[in-house]
Amino acid sequence: MSSDTFEKEKIRMTPEEGFDLVGIDYLSDPHGQLYFVEHFEMYQDALNAKKDRKNPEEYFILYKGPGGENLSR
């Protein structure tokens, strides 16, 4: 996935409130490699869910920052 396409996908999937855990499907179409896993109200819950995954490095937590910016971890 090109970095531009990847960033657009992350922006499109970032929730207005709370935290979304999303995964990466490396074998999928370049415009749909990110997929929704679960929504959380608290960051710690999303982080714990990411850590519990078989390959945690293949998941991101997407959320809005205090200034409305799109952030991921």
> Contact, 65 vs 40, CB < 8 A?
no
**Residue 1: band (very low, low, confident or very high) from pLDDT cuts 50, 70, 90:** low
List own/partner pairs for 35-44 with CB under 8 A and 24 or more apart. 39/15, 43/19
CA 50 to chain centre: 10
Closest by CA position to 25, among listed 52, 58, 60, 61: 58
For 21-58, what is each residue's pLDDT tens digit? 999 988 887 777 899 999 999 999 999 999 999 999 99
Alpha helices in 1-73 (DSSP H): 3-13, 43-51
> Contact, 21 vs 40, CB < 8 A?
yes
So where are the chain's domains? 3-72
User: What's the rounded mean pLDDT across residues 3-12?
Assistant: 86
